Structure 1
Amino acid sequence: MTKLPPLNALRAFEAAARHLSFKRAADELHVTQAAISHQVKQLEEHLHLPLFERSARGVKLTEAGRALLPVLSDAFDSILQTVEGLGATRSGGALLVSLRPYFAAKWLAPRLARFWQAWPQIALRLHHTTRPASFRGEEIDVAIWWGDGGWPGVETERLLPCDLTAVCSPDLLQGPYPLNSPWALRWHTLLHEETDENWRRWLSAAGVPDLKPRKQLFIDDTNVRLEAAIKGQGIALTGRELVADELAARRLVAPFDTSLGGFAYYLVYPKGALSRPAVRAFRDWIFAEAQADRGETSAAVPATDSARPKPAPPTSTKAKRWPA
C-alpha cells in the first residue's frame, strides 16, 4: 500500500495553494513561513513532483498542484464539518461572520437591528478583517468577500454588485487642474489600497494606461481612504453602492463614467454549512435585505445549485479582490 504523506505537509500545501502565498498560509496555521516552505518541499519530495512554480513575483500551482488542491480542500472541509457537528457548543445559535470593516459599517450595521428582531436566539458576532477569512482555525461560519466569485473549495452566492468607480471631493472638479477627463488625473493624487493594481486596470479601461499621477498614497483601510477622498486629498476607487449617501449629499462625486465591472460582494461559506440553522437563517435574511435594496419583494432565492445566482462575467480585466 502507498504510504500517505504527512498530515502537516498536506495542511501546509493546502493553505499555501489556497492563498497562493506561503506567508498567508503561515499566518493561518500559526507557524513560520520557513515551516510552510519546509513542509511543502517535504510533500513534493514524497510525491516526486513539483506542486508550485516559484519566481521572484510569487508562486503559482503546477498541474499536479491544481489537481491536488480541491481534493485536499474537500477532505479538510468534510473533517471540519463532522467535528463541528460533534460539538454541541457550536451546533446551536452562535454565528461568526467575517467581513471588511467598511462594508460592515456602511451596509450591514444599519440593518442589524432587523436581524436581531427576527432571530433573537442567534448570537451574531462580526469579525472584521482586511484579508479573506479562513474557515479553518478561526471558527468562521460565514464570510462576505468581494471579487469575481472564483474561489475554490467554498460555496459562493452573489449578494451585491460592486463595480469600481473613481470618486473624489467636488472641490477637485475646479481649480487649476479640474478633473474634466481621465488625463487630468496626472495632476492629482491616486489613493490606493495595498497595491496599485486596481488603479492600473481602471486607467487602462479609461484609455490612459500610461498615465503617471502626481502622487500616490497607499491606505489599506477603506474608511480612511474614502475619508481622505472626501477631504480632497486624492481620488479613490470604490463601489457606488457603498457611497450612495456621500454621492447624494455631494460629499463625493464620480467625475468619470468608467468603471471596472463584473465584481460583487459574495456570501461565502464552507460546503454543507447551510445544514446549520443559524447559517441558513443569516443567509436568507441577508439576501432578503439585498433584494429590498434593489426594490425586489420576492422571497430569498433558495440556496440550491440550480437556483444559486451565478457570478457575472467581468466586463473588463480582473481587478484586485479586496477594495472595500
Structure 2
Amino acid sequence: MSARPPLTAIRTFDAVSRHLSFQRAANELGVTPTAVSHQIRALEAQTNARLFNRSPAGVEHTARGMQFAEDIGPAMEQIDQAFRKLLQFSDREQVVLGAGPIIASRWLAPRLPDFAARHPEIDLQLINSPTEIWRRAREFDLAIAWGNGDWPNLQSQKLLDVSLVPVLSPDLARELDLHQPGDLLDAPLLHHHDGKEWADWFALAGVHHSVPVGIKVEDTNVVVQAALAGTGVMLGIREFLADDILAGRLTCPFPNPLRQTAAYYLVASGASQFPAHEALEKWLLDCADKK
C-alpha cells in the first residue's frame, strides 16, 4: 500500500463525517454524490477498512471510521487555518461568513452596506447554507448557527434571541376579520416543518384546540413570500420581519410572542487570529445589540 495518503479521498471522508450525508458532502465539495461515493470506496479499498455503514436511513460511522475521523480532525483544521493565514498576505483582508438562508436574507443582508462602509479594507464573502451550518463551521472564518450553542469542537457565543408572532398580509387580515387568537384556527395557516410551533403558540394564547393542517413549506424564505402574497398566516421571527411590519407589508394581529429556547450563535472552529475576523465578530454583536 502506498505510504502517501490520498488527500482528495481524505478530504471527502472528512466532509461525509461531518455531515453524515453523501449528498450534503457533495454540496460542500462541489461534486456529485456519485463522486463522493467513489472516493469513499477507494479509501476503504486502499485501507482495507469499512469506514461507513450505509442504509436507506442514512450514513453512520463504523468504529474504525469514527476513530479515523477523530484522528484526522485536528489535522484538517490545521490545513484550513494555514490556508486562511496564507490569504491574509494578500493586499486586502478577507473573511468568510456562513449563515442559514433566513437570517442571511432577512437580518444580515440589509445590514451589509453598513459593514462595507465601516470596513472598506475587508472583502467579506457571505455563504448561506440550508444545511445545519455548524456542521460546516470549519469552512468559514465565522458562522451564524441556530441551536443551543453546544457543538463539539466549536467555540460559540450567543448572538440573537428570537421570538415568533403570527403575521399575514393586510389584505388577508381584512378578509379574515380577526378579533381573537382562536379566530386563526379558521385561517389558512402556513407551517414550517411539522407545525409544532403553531400548537405551542395557540397554547400560549390560551387556545387549546387541535391545529388544522395547512400548507407545509421547508424553506422559511418561501413561507415569508407566501405570507407577503396573502397565501396564509405564518409564525414569523419578529426580529426578522420588523421592517415588513413597520412598512405595512405584513401585519401582526396578536403580538403574543412565542419565545424560542434555541437562539442564533456566532460559532468558530478556533480562536480568532486576524483583525478582519475580530472586526466582523464585533460588528455582528453590535448589530444584535441594536436588534
Q: TM-score, normalised by structure 2?
A: 0.74
Specify the alignment match of 1:108 in structure 2.
108
Specify the alignment match of 2:10 in structure 1.
10
In the TM superposition, residue 20 of structure 1 has moved relative to its aligned partner by 2.2
- Asked if residue 203 in structure 1 is aligned to residue 199 in structure 2, the reply is yes
| Contact 1:202–1:260 (8 Å) recurs in 2 | no
Q: Is the partner of 2:181 in helix, strand or coil?
A: coil
CA distance in 1, matches of 2:60, 2:257: 31
Q: After the TM superposition, which residues 110-149 of structure 1 pair with which residues of structure 2 at under 5 Å, given as runs?
A: 110-131=110-131, 134=136, 140-149=140-149
- Asked if residue 243 in structure 1 is aligned to residue 241 in structure 2, the reply is yes
Deviation per CA, 1:152-179, whole angstroms, max 9, x where unpaired? 4443322111244443346448638987
Paired letter, 1:23: Q
| Contact 1:74–1:153 (8 Å) recurs in 2 | no
| Contact 1:155–1:268 (8 Å) recurs in 2 | yes
Deviation per CA, 1:60-112, whole angstroms, max 9, x where unpaired? 44565555434433221111212332345458412233334543454334444
In the TM superposition, residue 263 of structure 1 has moved relative to its aligned partner by 1.9
| Contact 1:142–1:267 (8 Å) recurs in 2 | yes
CA distance in 2, matches of 1:57, 1:165: 34
Paired letter, 1:203: A
Q: Is the partner of 1:96 in helix, strand or coil?
A: strand
CA distance in 1, matches of 2:48, 2:233: 50
Specify the alignment match of 1:72 in structure 2.
72
| Contact 1:183–1:211 (8 Å) recurs in 2 | no
Specify the alignment match of 1:181 in structure 2.
182
CA RMSD in angstroms, aligned pairs only:
3.9
Q: TM-score, normalised by structure 1?
A: 0.68
Higher helix proportion (structure 1 or 2): 2
Specify the alignment match of 1:264 in structure 2.
263
Deviation per CA, 1:168-219, whole angstroms, max 9, x where unpaired? 346448638987339816x524243xxx24x246536756897451x41536
| Contact 2:93–2:122 (8 Å) recurs in 1 | yes
| Contact 1:84–1:91 (8 Å) recurs in 2 | no
In the TM superposition, residue 283 of structure 1 has moved relative to its aligned partner by 0.8
Specify the alignment match of 2:35 in structure 1.
35
Paired letter, 1:288: D
| Contact 1:163–1:263 (8 Å) recurs in 2 | no
CA distance in 1, matches of 2:150, 2:31: 27
CA distance in 2, matches of 1:259, 1:108: 22
| Contact 2:185–2:211 (8 Å) recurs in 1 | no
Compared CA separation, residues 39 and 166, structure 1 to 2 (3 A)? farther
Paired letter, 2:260: G
Compared CA separation, residues 260 and 40, structure 1 to 2 (3 A)? farther
Paired letter, 1:231: A
In the TM superposition, residue 25 of structure 1 has moved relative to its aligned partner by 0.6
Deviation per CA, 1:110-134, whole angstroms, max 9, x where unpaired? 4445434443322334344544564
CA distance in 2, matches of 1:163, 1:7: 44
Deviates more, 1:86-95 or 1:142-151: 86-95
- Asked if residue 158 in structure 1 is aligned to residue 154 in structure 2, the reply is no
Number of residue pairs the alignment of both structures matches:
282
Once the two structures are aligned, what percentage of the paired residues are identical?
32
Unaligned runs of 5+ in 2: none
